[in-house]
Amino acid sequence: MTSQHTTPRNSQAEQAIRLARETLDIEAAAVLGLKQHLDQSFAHAVEMMLRVSGRVVVMGMGKSGHIGRKIAATLASTGTPAMFVHPAEASHGDLGMIKPVDLVLAISNSGESEELTAILPVLKRMGAPLIAMTGKAESTLARHADIFLDCAVEKEACPLNLAPTASTTAQLALGDALAVALLDARGFKAEDFARSHPGGALGRKLLTHVSDVMRSGDAVPRVAPQASFSELMREMSSKGLGATAIVDGDEQVLGIFTDGDLRRLVEKGIDLRDTTAQQVMHPKPSTVARDALAVEAAEMMEHRCITSVLVVDAAGRLCGALNSNDLMRAKVI
């Protein structure tokens, strides 16, 4: 019984792998083929999108519409205000979302999508510049556009040459090329990207400061240099940081005492009952400024192989503390 089913299943698997490889080859060729279509029209499109005082309004039907939504999202997250408007909905009131100060980026492989061509006269009367991304230079969309971006592909990856596959991949790649050229022209930096992605990992790393995650006020363990060892231990235990600062009367940091320091002293057999904080502290400890990025504190702690660090203000006074757990809770590390 087993042998009767082995051959068909193997044949299906081989066919699936063969088609997958052919699909990737066709779509890779479609993307690479765009390079020969790039000319001054692309540069003019970038210049026009830079000059627009409103938004880039991306439009497209069907699969091109799905690609358009992604392109609009990429533009918006990289410094070019953009939104997607569905062409069919535009004919029923959503055209009011488009203003003369906007620019329309219309996407259609055939350039003859009825929902798009139906609103072209209105867009032209409105005065909004129109960039067409299509595979047909003689199409209605291309002829009405101020700028035509050629995204023609030799064939679809679909064996029937019907389902939009290579053509939508080419549209997506060309949209990314526009976004990259625009962000470079705008001088868009990682910090700008972080501001539009505050919930992401990069946003947390570039926008979170030490002051946002540090312990402050009474939560910061501190003792005077003359404090007894028992006072030092009570302070360290009650605050749960695994360390305590030793500060003078002006809150200037003199030293730090950590769990690791305690372990090393015990291993040496030192009688700690009559010692003071100043006698057992580690002088001139590592500190971090409250306005430093939290990721900088994490890098310093990793480099110096420490798990906690004291935070100081511009005058060098103790104002906070944090450890690796605080940074992990803030998802900085």
Residue 262: name the closest of 248, 242, 246, 239 by CA. Answer: 242
Under the banding of pLDDT at 50, 70 and 90, the label for residue 1 is very low
CATH code of domain 2-188: 3.40.50.10490
Structure tokens at 164: 């939009």
Angle at 311 between CA 220 and CA 201, to 5 degrees: 105
The per-residue pLDDT for 133 is 97
CB 71 within 8 A of CB 119: no
The per-residue pLDDT for 194 is 58
Structure tokens at 68: 């358009």
> How many Å separate Cα 178 from the centre of its chain?
18
Give 210-329's CATH code, choosing from 3.30.460.10, 3.10.580.10, 3.90.650.10, 3.30.565.10.
3.10.580.10
- CA–CA dist 1, 209 (Å, integer): 66
pLDDT single digits (tens) 267-314: 888 888 889 999 999 998 989 999 998 888 888 888 888 888 999 999
In DSSP terms, 276 is beta-bridged to 228
pLDDT single digits (tens) 197-234: 555 555 566 678 899 999 999 999 999 999 999 999 99
pLDDT (average), residues 73-77? 91
CB 59 within 8 A of CB 107: yes
Share of the chain above pLDDT 90, in %: 66
Q: Which residues contact 6 (CB under 8 A, 6 or more apart)?
A: none
The ranges assigned to domains in the chain are 2-188, 210-329
Q: In this model, does residue 21 exceed pLDDT 70?
A: yes
Q: In this model, does residue 51 exceed pLDDT 50?
A: yes
pLDDT single digits (tens) 134-190: 999 999 999 999 999 999 999 999 888 878 999 999 999 999 999 999 999 988 776
pTM (2 d.p.): 0.65
